[in-house]
Structure 1
């Protein structure tokens, strides 16, 4: 039944957007991993680990604490599971204007992610065709990505993600083997060499280093800076229980895949510790047989197409569903109209992403730009009202808009006057300011009836009881095993 469902075309916008919530947990885990580990991660994080060492390994590893935190929120998402997006939830709680802002910012984030994938695709294509013009490569990469994204909804996303999962299980181990052989060092020699490098020593984490401290504080907001691509997997799930399963499994598999990426970077460093970040992939592919090189390039292309396809899919949902309903006040738009608009949005979004890529051809500069402005603005503006809503807060549109405005004002003020002096980014402070402003405005200003904190619904109470019962059952099993052993 599931296989038949995936191969059929969607007949409603709900099917097109979230797969009609009939996806098996393993399929959701695969789709989620494909979203997290796009080609940009492979192309970007190997050089970053090579350059920054143990500090960057810890930062990337701690990202999965962020995934674990979201699973705790997912257990309280019962009242919102029938929504199609985070903008849909924001609109349900705070009204149409916060919904429009959320949809606009989420669309911007999606286009930013697509720009990163186009950049990676152009780099991958350039690995095989050195003589071709860079602008032509970017245009070709955009054409391939947008063409693929336009021809389907969640159906094509899942099919591509399944193919990308194959790249995780084949190409990453293949790269580990290749760079280890190329390093021409035994395990003992490799460990001895790393022990002599200060940036790969664990004691560096416990030394008071202003540069390291600033890096950690600057990445602190990632613990709660949920981006639309991650949150969308909650709405694709059947229930909060499935959300818990999906996010916990993604945390485990994500750490395993990250470990493989770290090993590639470490073996490259062992082989040659004098490379620049921009030279690392050239070093990896040098001396690789044409068949292996083509396999690696195709795998990177599959990764980028999968992640870019999902990002364009999110942009299409935000515009054709959330923004159009907010602007027109229509709750039921014909599916064929939404589908046509979605395809148009994918085309326009791809072209906008291509323009961004032209202005930022360097992958590291582009990634910093996207995360600094696009993801940062979304996190500061949308995450606090979303978290409050999940925990039972029901505010007005003015309350949410005040919090959003204060969050933006705080980050602008902080980055203009404070950050140049202490070199610490203010996004985490801005997120907290947004949430506190909303709560303060609710209690200090007049509020209409029905607003404020609500009690957990029956579904949330049942989930909590099931979790407590499972913990007691597990504890009783552990005690019985201790008694038997004694």
Structure 2
């Protein structure tokens, strides 16, 4: 068999991840809290790497870079987006002192508003995170099939997914954090190397590349706000502040030792995330100059692989693997936590709920990861994958208007009844569909998350202050998990 350097790079990377995860698994976990959020002894650097590893999935590499030609708005929106999201979470982290000992974002919703908002928050994110895992597996398989021809791409994809499942089950959050740190370091280094190698392929100076790009109409400064669609651009910029207020990212606040550490974690993540996005943008810029303009999407990657060395193929594939694995493991873990801690105990009768021990939470989490991975792999590798993509888009328009407003109000200290919050959630969801029916034909955009989130918040406040008898009802079994 011909020596395949790209395959060797992938094998070396997977072995290194296996060694890191084995080191994490050596320390046995006997209770649920350390499994879910650790002992709150993670360093700020480790938590920052985990945030970035969760944020940057394989789509950043395979899709964003090839969409650079969409213009300056697309580039600025992505760079601004990671900073806005992380800085918002940094601000929220400072206000979560009374919630810092919780285990999940749905738990915070439950302690503030009751059982049903807790279940709704968990269910929405479990469905979305399962789809995100499927998307990561699909992108992984796509990258491997483009770069590797000496072995079956399917076998590498299944092996990699199995590795993620094993260390997520047996290592808990400790394994997630340690592997995420290594994967984050790997994809940051490889992105920088990839930018350099693609730059060399252009055979032009950096000044010539900038001059060529500046001459393109879509890269004029007037297009920062989409030229004649300024309201649409403003809505998209505003939405970036709220998209990441979801369990997978808020989970890092509960892992922090204090609100101050949570604030620093997301502050550093915003700065480093912007640097990573700039590197990705540079790769997109060099590809935009080098690759023929009539190509798009996967055709661009086919062209790059056909005109580059095996070493560059290995860099591309390893970088995608690092991004997809680091996102998939975090999503699987938070889903397992929500199923075992937020869903199962709250749908069981009270008599059975009281019998749930730490060991049961632990076992349910293991089973949840296996079930979710079993659902995600066929969805990712079958012809039904387009369903996952459409669901992810639909979720992006629906989740923020339903959940984010009451969560922010809870962090700010607002207390009300479960009924009031459910009314607000329904109002937020209905406003999304109303926007689609009446506002979309006028503005031509589905970016309704901020206006619909505001509707949710205003309805909650209005019902709370105008509807008589709004006294908060304590959630059943409203105690904290102590171990």
1:299 is aligned to 319
Q: Distance in 2 between matches of 1:60 and 1:298?
A: 23
Unaligned runs of 5+ in 1: 453-486
Pick from 329, 333, 340 the counterpart of residue 320 of structure 1.
340
The reply to whether residue 412 of structure 1 matches residue 430 of structure 2 is no
Q: Distance in 2 between matches of 1:215 and 1:206?
A: 5
What secondary structure is seen at the aligned counterpart in 2 of 1:89? helix
1:280 is aligned to 300
After superposition, the Cα gap between the structure-2 partners of 1:158 and 1:413, relative to the gap in structure 1 and judged at 3 Å, is: same
The reply to whether residue 224 of structure 1 matches residue 246 of structure 2 is no
Alpha-carbon distance, 1:216 to partner: 4.3
Alpha-carbon distance, 1:259 to partner: 0.7
Q: Distance in 1 between matches of 2:355 and 2:190?
A: 45
Verify the 8 A CA contact 2:202 2:286 in the aligned structure 1.
yes
Q: Distance in 2 between matches of 1:340 and 1:388?
A: 34
1:47 is aligned to 66
The reply to whether residue 430 of structure 1 matches residue 452 of structure 2 is yes
Q: Distance in 2 between matches of 1:222 and 1:340?
A: 36
Deviating beyond 6 angstroms after TM superposition, the runs of 4 or more aligned structure 1 residues are: 3-6, 131-138
The superposition leaves residues 229-248 of structure 1 with CA deviations (integer Å, 9 ceiling, x where unpaired) of 22111111111111111111
Alpha-carbon distance, 1:337 to partner: 1.8
The reply to whether residue 105 of structure 1 matches residue 127 of structure 2 is no
Alpha-carbon distance, 1:66 to partner: 2.3
The superposition leaves residues 269-317 of structure 1 with CA deviations (integer Å, 9 ceiling, x where unpaired) of 1112412122222233333322332243123212211110100001001
1:389 is aligned to 410
Alpha-carbon distance, 1:133 to partner: 8.2
Alpha-carbon distance, 1:168 to partner: 3.3
After superposition, the Cα gap between the structure-2 partners of 1:39 and 1:187, relative to the gap in structure 1 and judged at 3 Å, is: same
1:58 is aligned to 76
Residue range with higher mean Cα deviation, 74-83 or 212-221 = 212-221
After superposition, the Cα gap between the structure-2 partners of 1:169 and 1:70, relative to the gap in structure 1 and judged at 3 Å, is: closer
Verify the 8 A CA contact 1:76 1:391 in the aligned structure 2.
yes
Give me the CA root mean square deviation. Answer: 2.6
TM-score by structure 1 length?
Answer: 0.85
1:476 is aligned to none
The superposition leaves residues 185-224 of structure 1 with CA deviations (integer Å, 9 ceiling, x where unpaired) of 11222122112111222233267323x6535424532322
Alpha-carbon distance, 1:142 to partner: 4.6
TM-score by structure 2 length?
Answer: 0.85
Q: Distance in 1 between matches of 2:355 and 2:66?
A: 48
Verify the 8 A CA contact 1:142 1:351 in the aligned structure 2.
no
